[in-house]
Amino acid sequence: MPTIIPTTPEQVQDIARALLDAADSPDEVRTDTSGPRLAFIVSDELATRAGFGEYDEDPEAETEPEAETEPEAEAEAQTETVEPETVSVEEPPRSGKGATEDAWKQFLKDQDIEFDKTLERNELIAFWDNHQNGA
């Protein structure tokens, strides 16, 4: 289940409205206030319907066969530089189950954020919050 975290207070109402409009029932939209900002927790399907991600109901579904390419085009494709996709990684819990120092270190690594490896869990969380606030 994805967590959608508005980056500015102004986005909260717009995101809430988009999620509720796409939901079959208001019960499909849960809020999380355990972090420094409000977050919305919804199903993959609802996030997709509201425009916050892509959900493939059947990942094993038939895909179109790839067109055969000529050897020259294939060689060119292999030398092409491809930018890595930006991956949204869900923030680990701040307390309770899963709120470990290792989880926070891995989260920051996954975000490609450099940090002092000697920081403890609470310091890592504060570091992330400062990073999010542009500090």
**pLDDT tens track of the chain, all 135 residues?**
778 887 777 788 888 888 889 888 888 888 888 777 788 888 888 888 888 767 665 555 555 555 555 555 555 555 555 554 445 678 888 888 888 999 989 988 888 889 999 999 999 988 888 888 876
pLDDT at 90: 83
Give backbone dihedrals phi and psi of 63, rounded to 5 degrees, phi first: -115, 155
Contacts of 120 (CB under 8 A, 6+ apart): 101
Domains of the chain, residue spans = 3-49, 101-132
pLDDT at 95: 84
26 within 8 A of 38, measured Cβ to Cβ: no
pLDDT at 110: 87
pLDDT at 120: 92
